[in-house]
Structure formats: structure tokens, C-alpha cells
């Protein structure tokens, strides 16, 4: 056995555990299992650069707390003016201590840019000088990720034609078939299917269900997604005598089985509690997770990915994962993606699930966000993982670098690869 293998198989001393965990977290390229980023051939849909970073909906929500500008006045501004207003209010007139504002600072510093300028002139010049494709690779390298999973909408009038005309694929971007328009807003969107020749109606007659299956199957052929996904309200009920209830059981889950795809359920959104804030207008609600119990129990041949938005649902979610082997938990989603809460959720999951879950996803909407979202994750998880190994060591089981490397690879790569078949 060569010396490197010997070293990684040697029991670690107690005071070596923390630094070894940090090394292995930094050395392991993560797979980012849920983002709103787009591959270069879909760049027209994507967001990157300083103006997009600063007008991220998390910061828009914070702007209206730190400035007198009304949402109406704000939406009337150009993107550049919006970014200037947010930079002034959240980064100049106040210290950027919130997780989202601190994130922008972390991105600027990682790219070698000043972090306390009075305006965005320097940053705009930097991003204007970037070659987009090279910039993507560089940002992924800095973030320590090998690939991301996109969010693709076959009913989006701007996106669908790009796929239908054969969008060039990219090995670092995996597609996902997102179903929110079909499952949550059927009355507004069934006509889009009808206009493409699918015989569907508003009441989802028997014929419609078959046609929806045909639509989904055709998009699985076109897009070759790694999973299907849908975000769901806190009021989700399953089974339910509704369009969503029927389409889940009779169209979506059968097609997932046919194409051997997991279904990702993102549960717990209270949509548009303040529509004036647009994308920033959604909130969170505690969900009745017995729906998840019935889906996992009722469809044992389907695999489910699941992330739940409410902090109050996390413990029962962990318990459900102990009951259903066809359920894989992932991420600390959206309002949970704050270090103090990520810590709490991840400790609980390690204690209850060992390494059989996916700790985090970035949910990046702007390319460079992966830099701070994954820096935060590595920084938050290092002491938590080190503590687990320290307890194992103190309880009498020697811990090796190879153990730590295998587990971190499982948490941030192979759990997802095995669940989706992504190579
Ligand atoms: O449904 C989702 O995928 C959510 O992540 C988004 O809709 C949400 O707006 C978001 O950006 C969360 O971070
Ligand atoms: Zn998302």
C-alpha cells in the first residue's frame, strides 16, 4: 500500500480531526443539486454580474426595511438604478451584516474587488470585462463545485423554444423538469399544452391525464432531466380531490417511474403574501407532512427528493426519512439557509440519519452566488462534522482521513449520484 493510502488509513489523533475535516471539505468538489442557474446555451435566461447580484430578491426584501423607497417607485427604476439604490441603502448607509448582504461582500472579495466602495463603478467594469464561459468555469472553481442542477420550465415561453431548437448541453449543468405551472397553476397554463396539440381540458378529464403523461414523456426525451421538481404550498394535502392530486398519482409519478426519475418535492411556501414585493413576496408556513408520508408510502417504486421550508417541520421530516427508504432529504432551503439554522438542521440530520442525506444546495439565482453559498456551507459544516467524528473517537472508534473523505463525498456527491443516476 503506498504512503498516501497508508496515511489516509491511519487513525487520526483527536487534535487532527478538525483540520482533516476542513481539508476534505475543501478538497471535495460538491454537486449543487438545486439552482436557478442556466447553461451557456440558455444564457439569455440566466443572471450574473454585480447588478443581478445586488438586485437579488433576498436583498430587495431587505431594501424595503432600510429605505423609504416604495415598491412602486423601486419597480419603476432600471436594473442599474435598482442596484445603486440597494448598494447605497444596504452596503453604504448600513453595515452589510445580513447573510444575503454579507454574501455579496464575500463574492467581491473572492474576485479580488473592493468591498467598501461608495458605488458599483469598479465592479461593473470588472464584470463587463469577463468572458462569460471562462467566468463560469472560474466561479465554479472558486466555489468548489463540479456541477450544478438547473431549474427548467417546459412551459416558459422564453425557455421552451431554446430546448425545442436543440440547446447545446454542458457537462457542468444538469437539467430538471420543473412542474409548478402544471401542478400548481393548471387553470392558467393548460391552454399552453393545448396550443402544442395536447388534448387537455381545464377539468383534467381522463383524456387529459393521458395527454399530460405524453407531454411529460416528450419533455423527458427532449431535456433528459436528472429529476422532476415542484414547489408546493404549506397547505399541500395528498391525496386531494384536485387537479394536483390527480396529476400527481396518475401522470407525474407514473412518468417518473417510466423514466426512472426521482420527484423533488419542495414543500411549505406561502406564495405572494405581499405581492408588491414580487419574487420577494413569498413567505413560509408549517406544512402537514402526512401528505409526504402518504406519497412515500403510497408510491414505494418512486424515489423522492424533499426539502421543506418551515423550521418547525424539520424534525418530523427527519423521522419520515427514517421510515421511508425512497425519501432523500436535501438542503436547508431559502429562509432556512442561514448559518444558525443550517447548523441546527444539519446536527439533527447527522444524529438521526448518519450520512444518508444531502446537506445543502445553493438555490443560486445569480451565477456568482455559488461562491458565498458554498463558502458558508463549508464554514458551517466543518465544526459540526468534526464534532461527530470527535464523539465517535471519544466513544472508542478510531477515525481516519479515508473515513472523513468517504463520508463527505457521500454527503455532497454520491448520495445525489446514486439517487439520480448522474455519473
Ligand atoms: O421554488 C424555488 O425553487 C425557490 O427556491 C425559489 O422560488 C425562491 O424564490 C428562491 O429563490 C429561494 O431561494
Ligand atoms: Zn429554488
Quote the CA–CA distance of 106 and 115 in Å, as a whole number.
Answer: 8
How many Å lie between the centroid of ligand 2 and the Cα of residue 253? Answer: 21
**Running DSSP on this structure, what letter comes out for residue 203?**
T
Establish whether the linkage from the previous residue to 239 is cis, with ω within 30° of 0.
yes
β-strand partners of 283: 270
Report, as an integer, the average pLDDT of 354-379.
98
Q: What is the pLDDT of residue 5?
A: 78
Query: 215 alpha carbon to ligand 1 midpoint, in Å?
Result: 25
What was the pLDDT predicted at 4? 79
- The set of residues, in sequence order, having a beta carbon less than 8 Å from that of 323 and lying 6+ positions away, is 293, 296
128-186 pLDDT, tens digit each: 999 999 999 999 999 999 999 999 999 999 999 999 999 999 999 999 999 999 999 99
**Is pLDDT at 2 greater than 80 in this prediction?**
no
- Whether residue 7 has pLDDT greater than 90: no
Smallest Cα–Cα separation from 333: which of 130, 172, 151? 151
Alpha helices (H) along 111-179 = 121-128, 132-143, 160-164
Instruction: Assess whether the C-beta atom of 349 lies below 6 angstroms from ligand 1.
Output: no
Residue ranges with CB less than 5 Å from ion ligand 2: 363
Contact status, residue 169 vs residue 228, Cβ threshold 8 Å: no
- Ligand 1: which residue has its CA nearest to atom 2? 231
Q: Could you identify the atom of ligand 1 that is nearest to the CA of residue 151?
A: 3
Atom number in ligand 1 closest to CA 178:
3
Q: Count other C-beta atoms under 10 Å from residue 83's C-beta.
A: 23
- Given a contact cutoff of 8 angstroms between Cβ atoms, the answer to whether 304 and 294 are in contact is no
Neighbouring CB atoms inside 10 A of 399's CB total 23
pLDDT of residue 212: 98
Asked if residue 222 has pLDDT above 60, the reply is: yes
**Cβ of residue 231 lying under 6 Å from some atom of ligand 1:** yes
| Strand pairing report for 30-32 and 145-149 | parallel
Tens digit of each residue's pLDDT (9 = 90 or more) over 287-320:
999 999 999 999 999 999 999 999 999 999 999 9
303 lines ligand 1 (CB under 6 A): no
Q: Which atom of ligand 1 is nearest to the CA of 279?
A: 9
| 279 touches ligand 1 (CB under 6 Å) | yes
Res. 127: pLDDT tops 60: yes
pLDDT exceeds cutoff 60 at 233 = yes
Q: How far is it, in rounded angstroms, from Cα 310 to Cα 317?
A: 10
Q: How far does Cα 195 stand from its chain's mean position?
A: 31
Region 313-333: mean pLDDT is: 98
List pLDDT tens digits, range 344-362.
999 999 999 999 999 999 9
363 in contact with ligand 1, CB cutoff 6 A: yes
CB of 232 sitting under 6 A from ligand 1: no
In the chain, pLDDT over 70 holds for what percent of residues? 100
Please, are residues 423 and 416 in contact by the beta-carbon 8 Å criterion?
Answer: no
With CA atoms as reference, report the closest residue to 147 among 126, 173, 129: 173
Closest residue CA from atom 3 of ligand 1: 231
Distance, CA of 328 to CA of 237 (rounded, Å): 20
DSSP annotation string for 32-63: E-------GGGGGG---SHHHHHT-HHHHHHH
Does 272 contact ligand 1 (Cβ within 6 A)? no
Q: Are strands 228-233 and 263-270 parallel, antiparallel or unpaired?
A: parallel
Q: d(Cα 141, Cα 135) in Å, to the nearest integer?
A: 10
Residue 1: which pLDDT band, with cuts at 50, 70 and 90? Answer: low
Residues 227/263, Cβ–Cβ less than 8 Å: yes
266 within ligand 1 shell (Cβ under 6 A):
yes
Contact by Cβ (8 Å): 307, 333: yes
Q: Atom 10, ligand 1: which residue's CA is nearest?
A: 334
Q: Give mean pLDDT, residues 32-59.
A: 98
- The closest of 265, 255, 246 to 186, measured between CA atoms, is 246
Q: What percent of the chain has pLDDT over 90?
A: 97
Got the DSSP string for 350-405?
Answer: HHHHTT-SB------SSTTHHHHHHHHHHHHHHHHHHHHHHHHHHTT---BHHHHH
Average predicted confidence (pLDDT) for the chain: 97
Q: How far apart are CA 255 and CA 95, in angstroms?
A: 50
| CA angle, 345 then 302 then 377, to 5° | 25
| Best residue for ligand 1 mutational test, from 309, 363, 367, 372 (most atoms within 8 Å of Cβ) | 363
Q: State the closest ligand 1 atom to the C-alpha of 180, by its place in the atom list counted from 1.
A: 1
pTM of the predicted structure, to 2 decimals:
0.98
Q: Using the 8-state DSSP alphabet, how is residue 18 labeled?
A: H
Nearest-atom number in ligand 1 for the CA of 34 is 3
**Do residues 356 and 415 make contact, with C-beta atoms less than 8 angstroms apart?**
yes
Q: Is the pLDDT of residue 90 over 80?
A: yes
Residue 153 Cβ < 6 Å to ligand 1: no
- Strand partners of residue 401: none
Verify whether ligand 1 is closer than 6 Å to residue 180 (CB atom): no
Task: Give me the numbers of helices (H) and strands (E) for the chain, helices first please.
Answer: 21, 9
Amino acid at each position: 500500500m503506498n504512503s498516501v493510502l497508508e496515511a489516509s488509513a491511519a487513525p487520526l489523533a483527536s487534535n487532527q480531526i478538525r483540520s482533516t475535516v476542513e481539508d476534505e471539505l475543501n478538497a471535495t468538489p460538491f454537486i449543487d443539486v438545486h439552482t436557478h442557474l442556466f447553461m451557456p446555451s440558455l444564457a439569455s435566461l440566466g443572471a450574473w454580474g454585480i447588478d443581478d447580484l445586488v438586485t437579488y430578491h433576498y436583498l430587495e426584501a431587505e431594501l424595503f426595511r432600510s429605505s423609504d423607497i416604495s415598491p412602486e417607485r423601486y419597480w419603476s427604476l432600471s436594473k442599474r438604478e435598482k442596484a445603486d439604490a440597494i448598494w447605497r441603502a444596504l452596503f453604504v448607509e448600513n453595515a452589510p451584516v445580513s447573510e444575503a448582504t454579507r454574501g455579496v461582500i464575500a463574492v467581491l472579495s473572492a474576485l479580488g474587488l473592493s468591498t467598501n466602495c461608495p458605488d458599483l463603478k469598479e465592479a461593473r467594469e470588472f464584470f463587463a470585462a469577463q468572458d462569460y464561459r471562462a467566468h463560469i468555469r472560474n466561479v465554479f472553481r472558486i466555489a468548489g463545485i463540479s456541477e450544478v442542477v438547473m431549474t427548467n420550465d417546459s412551459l416558459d415561453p422564453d425557455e421552451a423554444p431554446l430546448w425545442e431548437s436543440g440547446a447545446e448541453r454542458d457537462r457542468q449543468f444538469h437539467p430538471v423538469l420543473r412542474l409548478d405551472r402544471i401542478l400548481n397553476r393548471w387553470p392558467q397554463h393548460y391552454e399552453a399544452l393545448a396550443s402544442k396539440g395536447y388534448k387537455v381540458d381545464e377539468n383534467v378529464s381522463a383524456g387529459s391525464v393521458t395527454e399530460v403523461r405524453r407531454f411529460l414523456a416528450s419533455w423527458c426525451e427532449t431535456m433528459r432531466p436528472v429529476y422532476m421538481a415542484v414547489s408546493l404550498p404549506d397547505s399541500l394535502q395528498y391525496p386531494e380531490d384536485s387537479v394536483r392530486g390527480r396529476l400527481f398519482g396518475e401522470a407525474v409519478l407514473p412518468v417518473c417511474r417510466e423514466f426512472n426519475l426521482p420527484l423533488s418535492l419542495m414543500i411549505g411556501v406561502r406564495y405572494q403574501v405581499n405581492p408588491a414585493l414580487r419574487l420577494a413576496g413569498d413567505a413560509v408556513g408549517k406544512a402537514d407532512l402526512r401528505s409526504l408520508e402518504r406519497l412515500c408510502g403510497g408510491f414505494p417504486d418512486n424515489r423522492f427528493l424533499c426539502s421543506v421550508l418551515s423550521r418547525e417541520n424539520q424534525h418530523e421530516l427527519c423521522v419520515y426519512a427514517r421510515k421511508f427508504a425512497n425519501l432523500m432529504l436535501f438542503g436547508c432551503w431559502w429562509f432556512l439557509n442561514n448559518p444558525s439554522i443550517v447548523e441546527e438542521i444539519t446536527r439533527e440530520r447527522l444524529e438521526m440519519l448518519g450520512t444518508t442525506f444531502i446537506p445543502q444546495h445553493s438555490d443560486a439565482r445569480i451565477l456568482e452566488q455559488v461562491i458565498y453559498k458554498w463558502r458558508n456551507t463549508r464554514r458551517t459544516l466543518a465544526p459540526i462534522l468534526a464534532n461527530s467524528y470527535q464523539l465517535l473517537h471519544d466513544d472508542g472508534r478510531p477515525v481516519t482521513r479515508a473515513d472523513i473523505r468517504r463520508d463527505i463525498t457521500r454527503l455532497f456527491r454520491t448520495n445525489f449520484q446514486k439517487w439520480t443516476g448522474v455519473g
